[in-house]
């Protein structure tokens, strides 16, 4: 089997990829992740996933490179990682009673041939109506300052939702495994 390289330093993506039981290495890509003028979230995450894979492939002659990127969209606005409690609180209060959509771009690149396959996986989160006290209690217990949307669905963040809609809940964490299995199969990698 070809070597597999995850073009990411995200511990969340690494944990997800371990679920598939594949041996892989990680290399952090160095790219500009700024959106282009007029670029929508789906085009942005696909482009960035592909760019990450290509950036890592420049130094690796053989192997399959996995790139991934995510955008969290609330009311047409892309939310970044909050970084501070104040921004996390604002993101969660703005999501209260709304549907927030996550778009995760995924790309797999064969470094030797240059063959690339990519997709964008949407996933919608329907938030409960939340008050300030609930948001503060959540952030006291699970300050998700390094997560777009300011929550961890794999933890207590699930309590903030009414429901979720989408094919693969792993895409909320940043690596849609169902789509990844499909893309890897195009390169002859069968999981399991």
- Quick: pLDDT tens for 7-21: 998 999 999 999 999
Which residue among 23, 25, 32, 69 is the active-site one? 69
Question: Which tokens sit at 121?
Answer: 């996986």
Helices (H), the chain: 11-18, 41-57, 85-95, 132-141, 170-173, 177-186
pLDDT at 59: 81
Q: Note the pLDDT tens digit of each residue in 132-161.
A: 999 999 999 999 999 989 999 989 999 999
Residue range 4-186 in CATH 3.90.950.10: yes
| Of 30-34, 107-111, 128-132, minimum mean pLDDT range | 30-34
CB 53 within 8 A of CB 65: yes
Residue 1: pLDDT band (50, 70, 90) is low
User: Is the confidence at residue 71, as pLDDT, over 80?
Assistant: yes
Q: Which helix (H) or strand (E) holds 153?
A: none
Q: Is 69 a catalytic residue?
A: yes
Q: Determine the Cα–Cα distance for residues 67 and 53; give it in Å rounded to an integer.
A: 5
pLDDT of residue 112: 95
Q: What is the tens place of the pLDDT at every residue in 31-59?
A: 999 999 999 999 999 999 999 999 999 98
The pLDDT assigned to 61 comes to 87
Confidence check: pLDDT of 165 > 90: yes
Tokens of 135: 């948001």
């Amino acid at each position: 089997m070809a070597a597999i390289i995850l073009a990411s330093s995200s511990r969340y993506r690494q944990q997800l990829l371990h679920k598939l039981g594949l041996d892989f290495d990680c290399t952090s890509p160095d790219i500009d992740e700024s959106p282009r003028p007029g670029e929508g979230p789906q085009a942005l995450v696909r482009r960035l996933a592909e760019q990450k894979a290509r950036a890592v492939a420049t130094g690796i002659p053989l192997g399959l490179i996995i790139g991934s990127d995510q955008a969290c969209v609330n009311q047409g606005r892309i939310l970044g990682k909050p970084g501070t409690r104040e921004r996390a609180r604002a993101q969660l209060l703005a999501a209260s009673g709304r549907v927030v959509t996550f778009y995760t771009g995924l790309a797999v690149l064969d470094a030797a041939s240059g063959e690339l396959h990519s997709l964008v996986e949407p996933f919608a989160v329907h938030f409960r109506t939340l008050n300030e006290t609930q948001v503060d209690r959540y952030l006291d217990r699970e300050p998700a300052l390094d997560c777009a949307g300011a929550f961890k669905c794999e933890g207590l963040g699930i309590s903030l939702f009414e429901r979720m809609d989408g094919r693969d809940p792993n895409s909320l964490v940043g690596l849609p495994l169902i789509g990844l299995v499909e893309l890897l199969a195009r390169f002859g990698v069968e999981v399991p």
